[in-house]
Structure 1
Amino acid sequence: MKTHQPSETDLLARLEDWYLNECNGDWEHSFGVKLDTLDNPGWRVTVDLSDTRWAHLEIAKQIDGRTERDWIQFEVTKAQFVGCGGPRNLREILSRFFSIVDSVGREVNS
């Protein structure tokens, strides 16, 4: 069975919605989302979780190093999601972020 891979538009729209939902007049002045490039090459996505329902979350670093240019690692520590990956793994990094916030969101709502 083939799984649905979210499109770039889906992921960007979700990121926009997530960010907007956290903006409360205070959070956005001190926290936010950062998208950077790495020199090996690759991507780094940092999402501040302070003052959100995910602030308490801790996930040890997980690494999936498939090839030199196809890899991902992520962790949630010190109230930040930090995900890195190869030059074509940005969608996967964002998908991992949303799988984390979605799973914790279900636990909170249960």
Structure 2
Amino acid sequence: MKTHEPSETDLLTRLEKWYLNECNEDWEHSFGVKIDTLDNPGWRVTIDLSDTRWADLEIVKQIDERTERDWIQIEVTKAQFVGCGGPRNLREILSRFFSIVESGEHEVNS
């Protein structure tokens, strides 16, 4: 049984809010958020965590391959969240990002 998937609007609103919270008249000039497509096909989301409270966070690569077109891979390394997934997994990639940055479990103390 699938868990409740957040709507696209919910995830985009959360991404906008997270981005705006990190903008400090400096961070946004050097860092940011990139959403690209892959040729297999799929998605790649890269979110810079440099100069944020998650800059020192490291999460080893996690891979969940369900089918050829339903898969996800995430990691946090070198101050970047990198999430990749199949063509219908963009919401899941963003959800995984928010599960990291919105939970105290992965917060890095300054």
TM range (shorter): over 0.9
**1:4 Cα deviation after fit:** 2.7
- The percent of aligned pairs where both chains have the same amino acid is 87
- Paired positions, count: 109
* Change in CA separation of 1:108 and 1:57 when aligned onto 2, cut-off 3 Å: closer
2:41 equivalent to 1:41: yes
Counterpart for residue 72 of structure 2: 72
Q: Within 2, Cα distance between the matches of 1:52 and 1:92?
A: 23
**1:3 Cα deviation after fit:** 3.6
2:88 equivalent to 1:84: no
Q: Within 2, Cα distance between the matches of 1:108 and 1:61?
A: 18
Is residue 11–residue 91 contact of structure 1 (8 Å, CA) maintained in 2? Answer: yes
* Change in CA separation of 1:108 and 1:77 when aligned onto 2, cut-off 3 Å: closer
Counterpart for residue 63 of structure 1: 63
Q: Structure 2: any 5+ residue segments left out of the alignment? A: none
Normalized against structure 1, the TM-score is what?
0.92
Is residue 54–residue 104 contact of structure 1 (8 Å, CA) maintained in 2? Answer: no
Is residue 43–residue 87 contact of structure 1 (8 Å, CA) maintained in 2? Answer: yes
**1:70 Cα deviation after fit:** 0.2
Which residue type is aligned with residue 44 of structure 2? R
Normalized against structure 2, the TM-score is what?
0.92
Counterpart for residue 8 of structure 2: 8
Aligned partner of residue 98 in structure 1, secondary structure: helix
* Change in CA separation of 1:72 and 1:29 when aligned onto 2, cut-off 3 Å: same
* Change in CA separation of 1:77 and 1:107 when aligned onto 2, cut-off 3 Å: closer
2:74 equivalent to 1:93: no
